[in-house]
C-alpha cells in the first residue's frame, strides 16, 4: 500500500518536474547590498525597472580604487539621467566579489537569473571579469568593464555583450612600458601578481620591451594580496636588471614600493616601474616615496575644468577623496549605457544595447569624445603622467604632472590586431 | 501497521518536497545546499562514526572539483563521466593519504591530514591546468548520457538531486551495516576492538576512502552546477566549514550534517548583505556548540525525543 | 652566493616569528594537551593592539611592546578560565575545535570593525634605516626582530628548564594530580601558562606589525605553518620548537632561492615526512 502511494507520489513529482516554467524572477529588495536572493517568486513586471549591479572589491587590495566609490559614481550617472530612462526607474545594487572568480560568478549568476539585473559594472579583478564576461554573454545581458585590465576582454575572450572601458594591459604596456624602455630601461625583472591581470600585464609589457630592443632577465610571481615582498625584492636585486617592473596593483604595488625603499633597492641604480598605479596608491604612499614614478592613466581629476567640477562633486560624497580612473570609468560607462538604452528601447536584450552603445559616439565630461570599437574596446586618449615631488605639489591629491598625451588611435590596440572573432 | 510508521511518511514527504522545491526556491541555491549536505555527510562518516577528525577534507572536495571541471571542459566528457572521474581521483587521493595517515591517532591524525591538504593546495595553486587564482571557468554542464542537456537549472536540479540522494544512500548503508558497527566499536574503544580480532586499520582506511569518495562526489557535482572550479574549494577554510556544519548539525547522527549544511550555507546566502557579520555569527555558534551543544542540533533532538531520527 | 645569503637572512626573520609562536604553542600543548588554534588570532590581536595604541592613544612602539602582550595575556587568561577550562575532562579534540571557533570569531569581529585590507603600521623611528651587509641591505628593524626573538626564546627556555616555576610547569605536564597533592595550585598554573602563551603571541604580533601590516588574517596564514613547526619539533618540547622554528625559516629561505613557489609548502612536506617516520617529532618525548 505504502509502496503504491510512494510510486504515485514519485510520478506526480516527475510530472511536475517535466513542466518547467521559464526563468525565475524574484521580488528583489531595492538597494540591498547584493544578496543573491533565495526565493524566486513572481517575476517583476518585465523590465519595470532597469537594474544596475556594481560588482567589485569592497574590502581587499582594490577597495580604494573601486569599492564604494564606484557605486557612488554609478549613482551620480543615474541622478544625472533623472533616475529614469525610457519610462523605467533605474536602480543600483552592489556586492563584494572578494577578488575570487567563484564568488564573483555566483553573485553575477544570482543577479542575472534571480534578481533581474540587466547590467553589471566595474569588476576590477581580471580573473573575475573574465568569468562575468562569459556569464553575461550566455545570459545576453550587458557587462561594462571599467575596473579590469586584461586585454583578453577585447581579444580572445571578446563578447558582443561587453564594453571594456577605462584602460587595459595593452594600453599600459604601450604607455608606461614604452616610456621606461625609451629612457634607458633595457633589462627587466618582473614582480607579478599571479592571476589573469598580472600575467596579462607581464605578457604585454614583455612584448613592448622586446620590440624596443630590451630583454627580460627574469621574474617572480606572488599571490594576490601579499604583504611581505622582501624575498621577491631580493631576487630582483640579485638579477641586476635595470628595471624592476611591478605587474601588480592596489595594495600589492603599494607594499612592493614601500619595501623596495626599505631594502634600499634603488640605491644600486635599479629603477622601479609601476605599471598600473592609481591616484589612490600615490595617496597611500605619500609623495616622498612615490615622487618621480611614471604612470599611464585615462583620467586625472585635475586635468581640465570639466573633470575638476565632476571630481569636486564626487569628493563631496566620498569624504574628500578624489576619484580614480576606474570610478570615473563607471560613471562614464553607465551614462553612455543609459543613453543607449533610451535609443535601443529594450534593455532586456544585451546585444542590442551594446550595439547601440557602439553606434552612438561617446561624449562625457571625464573622457571627452570617443568611440567604441567593434570588439568592445572603448577608445579615448591616454595620458602619461609623472608623480610630482612634495615641493611641486600644492596640496593633497595634487600629485600628477602631464608628460605626454597619447591620442586615442594610438593608445589602444588596433581592433584588427586584437584576435577578436567579432572583428571582420 | 509498521508500514505506516511516522518515519516512512516523513521520508516520502521529504522526497516530494525536494521534487517540488525548485519551483519556489532558486534552484542553484538548492543545489548548493545538496552538495554541501553530501559533503558534510561524508565528513560525518569519518568523525561521527569512525571517530577520526580530518582537518584536510577540502583536499578531496576541491580536487574532485578540478578533476571534474577538467574532464568536462578539456576532455569533453559527459557530466556523469566527469563526476565519476572526480570521484575516482578523490578516492585515490583518499587511499594514498589514508594509508599514510591512519597510522597516527587523534591530534596527529588531524595535523597530518592538514599538512597533506596544504600540499594539495599548493599543487592546485601551481599546476597550470587549474588556472591558479584564475580558476577553471566556463565548465560546460554538458549532456547527461549524451542526450539530456543539463543547461537548464531545473533539469540539472533533478540530476543533482538524484546524485546526492544516491550519495546519502551509500553513506546510510555504510553506517547501518556490520561494517558500520565495527567502526562504532573502533570509535568507542579501539584496543578492545583489536583484541576482538578486528583489523582496525583496515576498517579505518576503508572508512577514510569512502568518505573521500563521497566528498569527491559532492565536489565534482558542485563544479558542474557553478561551472567553476577554484582554489576556494581546496583551501583549509573549506575544511573548517565542513567541521562547523557537522558540529552544529550533530556528529554521529544521520541527519545532523544535512541540517548543519543547510544552516551554515543557508545563513551565508541569506545574509550576504550582512557581510562580515556572518563570520562572526559562525564563529560564535562554533564556540557555543563546542561548549554547550556538543551533540549538535539533531543530536540534541534525538536525546530529547529519546530515540534516533 | 649573495642571493643565497640574502634569502637566508630573510628566512631568519620569518624563523623568528615561527620560533616565538611555536614556543607559546608548545608551552600550551605541553601543559594542557590542547592545540591552540586561537594562537594566530592572538598574534593578530597583538599587532592590532599596537596599531590601536598608536592610532588612537598616541602611544608608540615601546609602549606597544609592553601593553599589547599584557592586554592580550589578560584576555587569554579570561578565555582559559571562562571557556577552555570547561573542556578539561573531554577529549582534547574539543579543545582544538573550541580554539578554532574562537579564532574564527576573533578574526571575524576584527574584520567587521576594521575591514580586511589592513592598517599600516610604521617602523619605529629609532629603528629605521638599513645596514649594508655587502650582499644585501638589511633594514635595521628586521635585524632587531631577529635579535629580540632569540633573546626572548632563550630567556623563556632558561625559565622553563632552570627555574622552580619551570619545574612546576614540567611537573604539571607530566602528572598534574600529584603536583596538586604537593600543594601547587595547578589550575592557576594552567591559566598563567595559557595567558603567557597568548602574551608571547601578541608580542610577536607587535614585532610583525611594521613588516606585515596589521590585517585580520595575518595570524591565520601563520598558524598553519606554526602547527607544522611544533609537530616537527615535538609537540611538547620547548627547545625543539625554538630550534625548529628558526631552522624552518632558514629552510624556507633556502627554498626561495631554488624554487620560490614551494617555499610555503616545504614545511608541510617536512612535517609529513617527520610524522611518518618519527611521530613524536624530532625532540619530543613519548606521547
Dihedral (CA of B24, B29, B35, B39) sign: negative
DSSP helix/strand/coil, A155: coil
Q: Which of A2, A34, A109 sits opposite B4 (nearest CB)?
A: A2
Q: Does B5 touch chain A (CB under 8 A)?
A: no
Architecture field, domain A49-167+304-372: 3-Layer(aba) Sandwich (3.40)
Alpha helices in A274-359 (DSSP H): 279-285, 287-290, 305-317, 325-344, 350-359
Rounded to an integer, the average pLDDT of A160-184 is 92
Which chain A residues contact residue B24 at CB under 8 A? 39-41
Instruction: Please check whether residue C226 is in contact with residue C29, taking contact to mean a CB–CB distance below 8 angstroms.
Output: no
d(CA A299, CA A177): 18
CA nearest C3 in A: which residue? A238
pLDDT at C23 over 90: yes
Judge whether residue A5 has pLDDT over 70.
no
Q: Which residues of C touch B (CB under 8 A)?
A: 35, 83, 86-87, 91-94, 96-98, 100-109, 111-112, 116, 224, 227-228, 231, 235, 261-262, 264-265, 268-269, 271-272, 275-276, 279, 287
- B127 interface with A at CB cutoff 8 Å: no
3-class secondary-structure state, position C85:
helix
Cβ within 8 Å of B, A 208-237: 223-224
Q: Chains with ≥3 Cβ pairs under 8 A against A?
A: B, C
| pLDDT given at position C73 | 96
Task: Tell which residue, C279, C274, C237, C267, has the closest CA to residue C31.
Answer: C237
| Cβ separation B26–A21 shorter than 8 A | no
Q: Which residues of C touch A284 (CB under 8 A)?
A: 120
Regions of chain B where pLDDT drops below 70:
1-4, 273-275, 307-309
Q: Which of C117, C137, C213 sits opposite A63 (nearest CB)?
A: C117
d(CA B41, CA B246): 8
Between CA C161 and CA C146 the distance in angstroms is 22
Indicate the domain borders of chain B: 24-234
Q: What three-state secondary structure class fits B91?
A: helix
Spell out a b/e string for A228-238, using b for 16 or more CB atoms within 10 Å of the CB, else e: bbbbbbbbbbb
The mean pLDDT value of chain C amounts to 87
Give me the pLDDT at residue B279, please. Answer: 82
Closest residue in chain B to residue C276, using alpha carbons only: B100
Which residue of chain B has the CA closest to C225?
B115
Comparing CA positions, the residue from B180, B303, B293, B201 lying closest to residue B246 is B293
Write out pLDDT tens, residues C112-163.
Answer: 888 777 777 888 888 888 888 777 888 889 999 999 999 999 999 999 888 8
What is the DSSP code (8-state) at residue A174?
I
In A30-69, the residues whose Cβ lies within 8 Å of chain C are: 59-61, 63-64
Cell output for B151:
543547461
- Interchain CB distance below 8 Å, B103 and C264: no
Q: Is the pLDDT of residue C81 over 50?
A: yes
Domain extents for chain A?
Answer: 49-167+304-372, 170-297+382-404
CA distance A18 to chain C (A): 44
Q: What is the rounded end-to-end Cα distance, in angstroms, of chain C?
A: 42
Q: Please, which residues 161-220 of chain B have a Cβ atom closer than 8 Å to chain C? A: none
> Is residue C236's pLDDT more than 80?
no
Instruction: Find the domain containing C160 and state its range.
Output: 13-218
Could you tell me which of A262, A223, A234, A274 has the C-alpha nearest to residue A399?
A274
Contact between A148 and A129 (Cβ < 8 Å):
yes
Chain C partners within 8 Å of B282 (Cβ): 104, 108
pLDDT score at A43: 40
Q: Are residues B230 and A100 in contact, defined by beta-carbon separation less than 8 angstroms?
A: yes
Number of Cβ within a 10 Å radius of residue B49: 23
pLDDT at A143: 96
Q: Are A28 and A116 in contact (CB under 8 A)?
A: yes
* Residue pLDDT, tens place only, A89-136: 999 999 989 889 998 999 999 999 989 999 999 999 999 999 999 999
Distances (CA, A) of A87 to A52, A338, A341, A353, A355: 16, 12, 11, 16, 21
Cell numbers representing residue A304 in the block = 581640465
Largest CA distance in chain C: 60
CA distance C226 to A363: 57
C91 burial level (CB within 10 Å; 0-12, 13-18, 19+): middle
Q: Which residue of B has its CA nearest to C84?
A: B291
Q: What are the residues whose beta carbons fall under 8 Å from the beta carbon of A50, sequence distance 6 or more? A: A85, A88, A89, A90, A91, A118, A119, A338, A341, A347
Q: Which helix (H) or strand (E) holds C12?
A: helix C2-32
Question: What's the total number of domains in chain C?
Answer: 1
Could you tell me the pLDDT band of residue A66, with boundaries at 50, 70 and 90?
very high
Residue A31 has pLDDT above 70, yes or no: no
- Among the partner-chain residues A9, A102, A134, the one whose CB lies closest to the CB of B12 is A9
Quick check: A18 pLDDT over 50? Answer: no
Establish, for the pair of chains B and C, how many residue pairs have beta carbons separated by less than 8 Å: 114
Judging contacts by C-beta atoms under 8 Å, the chain C residues touching residue B116 are 268, 272
Q: What average pLDDT does range C192-219 have in this prediction?
A: 91
For chain C, the chains sharing at least 3 beta-carbon pairs closer than 8 angstroms are A, B
A320 is written with which cell numbers?
574628500
Residue A117 in 3-state DSSP?
A: coil
Whether residues B153 and A113 touch (CB distance < 8 A) is answered with yes
Going by pLDDT thresholds of 50, 70 and 90, the confidence category of residue A164 is very high
Closest by Cβ to A38, choosing from B4, B230, B269: B269
Q: Establish if A234 touches chain C: CB-CB under 8 angstroms.
A: yes
For residues B234 and C135, what is the distance between their CA atoms, to the nearest angstrom?
Answer: 39
pLDDT > 60? residue A291: yes
Q: How confident is the model at residue A29 (pLDDT cuts 50, 70, 90)?
A: very low
Average of per-residue pLDDT values in chain A = 85
Contact residues, B window 233-292, toward C, CB-based 8 Å cutoff:
236, 240, 243-244, 247, 275-280, 282-284, 286-287, 289-291
Radius of gyration of chain A (CA): 23
CA distances from C116 to B135, C15, C104, C110, C214 (A): 22, 25, 14, 8, 10
Domains A49-167+304-372 and A170-297+382-404 share a fold: yes
Q: For residue C231, tell me if it sits in a domain.
A: no
Place of cell 597550470: B128
Q: Does B284 touch chain A (CB under 8 A)?
A: no
Q: With an 8 Å Cβ cutoff, are A38 and B270 in contact?
A: yes
Asked: is A170-297+382-404 a CATH 3.40.50.2300 domain? The reply is yes
Residue A32 is predicted with a pLDDT of 30
Angle C139-C142-C148 (CA atoms, 0-180°, nearest 5)? 140
Inter-chain CB proximity A59 and C117 less than 8 Å: yes
Provide the pLDDT confidence category of residue A9 given band limits of 50, 70 and 90: very low
Q: Read off the C-alpha cell for C195.
A: 595567558
pLDDT given for residue A39 in this prediction: 42
Q: Which chains touch B (3 or more CB pairs under 8 A)?
A: A, C
- How far, in Å, CA of A205 to CA of B92, rounded? 42
The verdict on residue C193 lying in a domain is yes
Q: Are A99 and A93 in contact (CB under 8 A)?
A: no
Q: B-contacting residues of A 319-348, CB under 8 Å?
A: none
* Interface test with chain B among C26, C104, C231, by most B beta carbons within 10 Å: C104
- List chain C residues with CB under 8 Å of B115: 228, 231, 268, 271-272, 275
Q: Is B228 on the interface with A (CB under 8 A)?
A: yes
**Do the bridges between strand A142-145 and strand A119-122 make them parallel or antiparallel, or are there none, so unpaired?**
parallel
- Residue in B16, B133, B152 closest to A194 by CB: B133
Q: Do A63 and C213 touch (CB under 8 A)?
A: no
pLDDT tens sequence across B13-59: 888 888 888 888 888 999 999 999 999 999 999 998 888 899 999 99
Nearest to B276 by CA among A53, A115, C106: C106
Percent helix, strand and coil across chain B, each to the nearest 5: 75, 0, 20
Residue A207: how many CA atoms within 13 Å on its side-chain side? 13
User: Is the CB of B226 less than 8 angstroms away from the CB of A105?
Assistant: yes
Residue C270 lies in a domain: no
* φ, ψ at B130 (rounded to 5°): -85, -15
Which among A37, A89, A93 is positioned nearest to A70, based on CA atoms? A93
CA distance B213 to B67: 13
CB A226 within 8 A of CB A252: yes
How much is the pLDDT for B258?
A: 93
Return phi, psi of residue A295, to 5°. Answer: -150, 155
Grid cell locating A223? 599571490
For all residues of chain B together, what is the average pLDDT? 89
Q: Is B197 on the interface with A (CB under 8 A)?
A: no
* Cross-chain residue pair A262–C256, CB shorter than 8 Å: no
Rounded CA-CA distance A245/A262 in Å is 17
Give the pLDDT score at B2: 55
Chain A residues whose CB is inside 8 A of the C211 CB are 228
Residue pairs spanning A and B at CB distance below 8 A: 116
**Residues of chain C contacting A262 with CB distance shorter than 8 Å:** 123, 130, 139
Contact C98 B287 (CB under 8 A): yes
Contact in structure between A36 and A111 (CB atoms under 8 Å): yes
CA–CA separation, B67 and B223 (whole Å): 9
Residue A399: C-alpha distances to residues A295, A302, A391, B206, C231 (Å)? 11, 9, 11, 65, 51
Residue C285: pLDDT band (50, 70, 90) is low
SS3 at position A125: coil
Q: What is the pTM assigned to this prediction?
A: 0.87
Cell 615601546 -> residue:
C62
Does A2 have pLDDT greater than 80?
A: no
Reply yes or no on whether the pLDDT at A14 is more than 60: no
Angle ∠(A377,A378,A384) on CA atoms, nearest 5 = 105
Q: Which residues pair with A272 in a beta bridge?
A: A244
Amino acid at each position: 500500500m505504502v509502496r503504491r502511494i510512494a510510486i504515485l507520489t514519485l510520478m506526480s513529482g516527475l510530472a511536475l518536474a517535466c513542466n518547467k516554467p521559464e526563468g525565475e524572477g524574484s521580488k528583489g529588495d531595492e538597494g540591498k547590498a547584493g544578496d543573491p536572493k533565495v526565493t524566486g517568486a513572481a517575476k517583476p513586471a518585465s523590465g519595470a525597472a532597469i537594474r544596475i549591479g556594481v560588482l567589485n572589491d569592497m574590502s581587499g587590495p582594490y577597495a580604494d580604487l573601486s569599492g564604494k566609490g564606484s557605486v557612488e559614481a554609478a549613482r551620480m550617472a543615474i541622478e544625472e539621467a533623472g533616475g529614469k530612462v525610457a519610462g523605467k526607474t533605474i536602480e543600483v545594487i552592489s556586492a563584494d566579489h572578494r577578488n575570487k572568480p567563484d564568488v564573483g560568478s555566483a553573485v553575477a549568476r544570482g543577479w542575472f537569473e534571480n534578481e533581474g539585473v540587466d547590467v553589471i559594472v566595474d569588476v576590477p579583478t581580471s580573473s573575475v571579469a573574465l568569468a562575468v564576461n562569459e556569464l553575461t554573454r550566455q545570459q545576453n545581458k550587458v557587462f561594462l568593464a571599467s575596473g579590469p585590465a586584461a586585454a583578453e576582454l577585447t581579444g580572445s575572450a571578446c563578447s558582443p555583450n561587453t564594453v571594456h572601458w577605462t584602460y587595459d594591459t595593452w594600453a599600459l604596456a604601450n604607455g608606461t612600458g614604452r616610456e621606461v624602455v625609451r629612457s634607458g630601461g633595457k633589462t627587466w625583472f618582473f614582480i607579478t601578481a599571479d592571476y589573469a591581470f598580472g600575467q596579462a600585464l607581464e605578457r604585454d609589457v614583455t612584448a613592448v620591451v622586446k620590440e624596443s630592443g630590451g630583454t627580460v632577465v627574469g621574474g617572480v610571481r606572488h599571490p594576490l594580496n601579499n604583504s611581505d615582498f622582501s624575498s621577491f625584492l631580493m631576487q630582483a636585486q640579485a638579477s641586476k636588471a635595470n628595471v624592476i617592473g611591478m605587474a601588480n596593483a592596489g595594495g600589492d604595488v603599494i607594499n612592493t614600493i614601500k619595501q623596495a625603499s626599505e631594502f634600499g633597492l634603488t640605491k644600486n641604480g635599479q629603477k622601479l616601474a609601476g605599471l598600473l598605479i592609481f591616484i589612490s596608491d600615490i595617496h597611500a604612499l605619500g609623495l616622498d616615496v612615490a615622487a618621480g614614478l611614471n604612470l599611464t592613466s585615462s583620467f586625472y581629476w585635475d586635468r581640465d575644468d570639466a573633470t575638476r567640477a565632476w571630481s569636486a562633486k564626487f569628493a563631496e560624497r566620498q569624504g574628500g577623496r578624489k576619484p580614480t580612473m576606474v570610478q570615473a570609468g563607471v560613471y562614464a560607462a553607465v551614462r553612455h549605457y543609459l543613453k543607449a538604452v533610451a535609443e535601443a528601447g529594450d534593455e532586456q536584450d544585451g546585444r542590442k544595447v551594446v550595439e547601440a552603445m557602439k553606434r552612438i559616439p561617446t561624449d562625457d565630461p571625464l573622457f571627452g569624445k570617443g568611440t567604441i570599437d567593434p570588439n568592445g574596446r572603448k577608445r579615448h586618449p591616454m595620458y602619461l603622467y609623472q608623480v610630482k615631488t612634495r615641493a611641486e605639489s600644492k596640496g593633497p591629491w595634487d600629485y600628477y604632472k602631464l608628460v605626454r598625451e597619447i591620442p586615442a588611435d594610438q593608445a589602444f590596440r588596433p581592433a584588427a590586431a586584437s584576435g577578436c572573432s567579432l572583428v571582420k | 501497521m509498521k508500514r505506516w510508521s511516522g518515519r516512512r511518511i516523513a521520508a516520502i514527504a521529504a522526497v516530494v518536497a525536494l521534487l517540488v522545491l525548485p519551483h519556489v526556491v532558486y534552484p542553484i541555491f538548492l543545489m548548493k545546499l545538496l552538495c554541501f549536505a553530501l559533503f558534510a555527510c561524508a565528513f560525518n562518516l569519518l568523525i561521527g562514526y569512525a571517530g577520526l577528525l580530518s582537518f584536510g577534507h577540502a583536499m578531496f572536495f576541491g580536487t574532485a572539483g578540478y578533476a571534474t571541471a577538467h574532464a568536462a571542459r578539456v576532455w569533453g566528457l559527459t557530466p556523469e563521466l566527469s563526476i565519476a572521474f572526480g570521484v575516482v581521483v578523490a578516492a585515490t587521493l583518499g587511499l594514498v593519504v589514508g594509508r599514510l595517515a591512519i597510522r597516527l591517532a587523534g591530534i596527529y591524525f588531524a595535523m597530518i591530514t592538514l599538512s597533506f591538504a596544504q600540499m594539495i593546495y599548493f599543487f592546485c595553486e601551481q599546476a597550470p591546468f587549474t588556472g591558479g587564482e584564475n580558476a577553471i571557468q566556463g565548465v560546460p554542464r554538458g549532456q547527461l548520457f549524451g542526450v539530456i542537456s543539463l543547461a537548464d537549472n531545473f533539469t540539472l536540479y533533478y540530476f543533482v538531486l538524484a546524485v546526492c540522494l544516491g550519495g546519502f544512500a551509500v553513506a546510510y548503508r555504510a553506517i547501518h551495516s556490520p561494517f558500520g558497527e565495527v567502526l562504532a566499536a573502533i570509535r568507542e574503544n579501539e584496543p578492545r576492538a583489536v583484541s576482538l580480532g578486528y583489523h582496525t586499520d583496515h576498517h579505518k582506511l576503508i572508512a577514510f576512502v569512502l568518505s573521500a569518495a563521497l566528498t569527491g562526489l559532492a565536489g565534482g557535482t558542485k563544479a558542474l552546477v557553478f561551472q567553476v572550479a577554484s582554489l576556494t574549494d581546496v583551501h583549509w577554510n573549506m575544511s573548517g566549514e565542513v567541521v562547523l556544519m557537522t558540529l552544529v548539525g550533530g556528529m554521529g547522527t544521520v541527519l545532523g550534517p544535512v541540517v548543519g549544511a543547510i544552516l551554515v550555507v543557508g545563513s551565508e546566502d541569506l545574509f550576504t548583505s550582512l557581510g562580515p557579520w556572518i563570520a562572526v555569527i559562525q564563529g560564535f555558534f562554533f564556540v557555543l556548540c563546542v561548549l554547550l551543544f556538543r551533540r549538535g542540533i539533531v543530536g540534541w533532538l534525538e536525546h530529547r525525543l529519546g530515540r534516533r531520527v | 652566493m649573495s642571493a643565497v645569503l640574502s634569502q637566508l637572512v630573510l628566512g631568519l626573520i620569518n624563523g623568528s616569528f615561527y620560533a616565538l609562536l611555536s614556543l607559546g604553542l608548545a608551552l600550551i600543548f605541553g601543559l594542557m594537551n590542547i592545540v591552540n588554534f586561537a594562537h594566530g588570532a592572538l598574534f593578530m590581536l597583538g599587532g592590532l593592539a599596537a596599531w590601536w595604541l598608536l592610532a588612537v592613544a598616541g602611544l608608540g612602539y615601546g609602549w606597544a611592546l609592553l601593553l599589547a602582550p599584557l592586554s592580550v595575556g589578560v584576555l587569554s587568561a579570561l578565555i582559559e578560565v571562562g571557556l577552555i577550562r570547561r573542556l578539561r575532562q573531554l577529549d582534547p579534540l574539543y579543545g582544538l575545535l573550541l580554539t578554532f571557533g574562537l579564532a574564527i570569531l576573533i578574526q571575524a569581529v576584527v574584520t567587521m570593525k576594521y575591514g580586511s585590507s589592513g592598517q599600516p603600521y610604521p617602523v619605529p623611528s629609532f629603528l629605521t634605516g638599513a645596514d649594508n651587509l655587502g650582499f644585501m641591505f638589511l633594514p635595521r628593524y628586521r635585524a632587531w626582530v631577529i635579535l629580540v626573538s632569540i633573546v626572548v626564546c632563550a630567556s623563556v627556555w632558561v625559565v622553563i628548564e632552570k627555574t622552580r616555576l619551570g619545574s612546576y610547569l614540567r611537573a604539571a605536564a607530566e602528572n598534574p594530580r600529584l603536583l596538586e597533592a604537593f600543594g601547587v595550585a595547578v589550575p592557576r598554573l594552567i591559566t598563567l601558562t595559557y595567558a603567557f602563551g597568548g602574551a608571547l603571541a601578541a608580542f610577536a604580533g607587535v614585532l610583525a606589525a611594521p613588516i606585515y601590516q596589521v590585517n585580520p588574517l595575518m595570524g591565520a596564514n601563520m598558524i598553519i605553518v606554526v602547527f607544522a613547526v611544533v609537530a616537527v619539533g615535538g609537540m611538547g618540547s620547548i627547545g625543539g620548537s625554538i630550534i625548529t622554528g628558526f631552522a624552518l625559516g632558514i629552510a624556507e629561505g633556502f627554498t626561495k632561492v631554488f624554487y620560490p613557489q614551494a617555499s610555503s609548502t616545504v614545511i608541510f612536506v617536512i612535517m609529513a615526512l617527520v610524522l611518518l617516520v618519527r611521530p613524536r617529532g624530532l625532540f619530543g618525548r613519548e606521547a
